[in-house]
Amino acid sequence: MMTCDAAIRVATPLGPITLLAHGEALVAARFDAAPVDLPDSPVCREAARQLQAWFAGRRQRFELPLAPQGTPFQQAVWAQLAALGPGETLSYAQLAGALGRPRAARAVGAAVARNPLAILIPCHRVLGAGGTLTGYAWGLERKRALLRREGVDAAA
């Protein structure tokens, strides 16, 4: 169960994103418009500012304290994703190999799907074999748009 004590909703070209924080770190960023009855916080406001700058093309990377909650394996997968540069993509198999677990592509896919910090931990940069556009918790059209924003034209 995720613990959070602050939130803010950010309007983006791809729909509203709700940012959730616990203490001084973000714990979730999700595309949704569900009501959140929490106060905002300095980290939420800074994240909103950076996200808006990213969508406007004025920022390439995020400099925010992140504290996603997950298993040690999920944390390792998310750390690898966070290290990817803008426009840099890889496959689930490549990500598994980078973790030293070349046969764990499906487990990597499950961990990618559970990424609680959309865009901030760039799971949209993971493609299927051969660069094909594959699943994204927030919809393939959003994934395609995020990749295009970074200059990547993924195969359908």
User: Which candidate in 8, 118, 123, 126 is catalytic?
Assistant: 123
Helix (H) or strand (E) holding 9: strand 6-10
Cα distance between residue 87 and residue 96, in whole Å: 19
DSSP class per residue in 56-93: TTS-SS----B-----HHHHHHHHHHHTPPTT--EEHH
123 is catalytic: yes
Catalytic residue numbers read 123
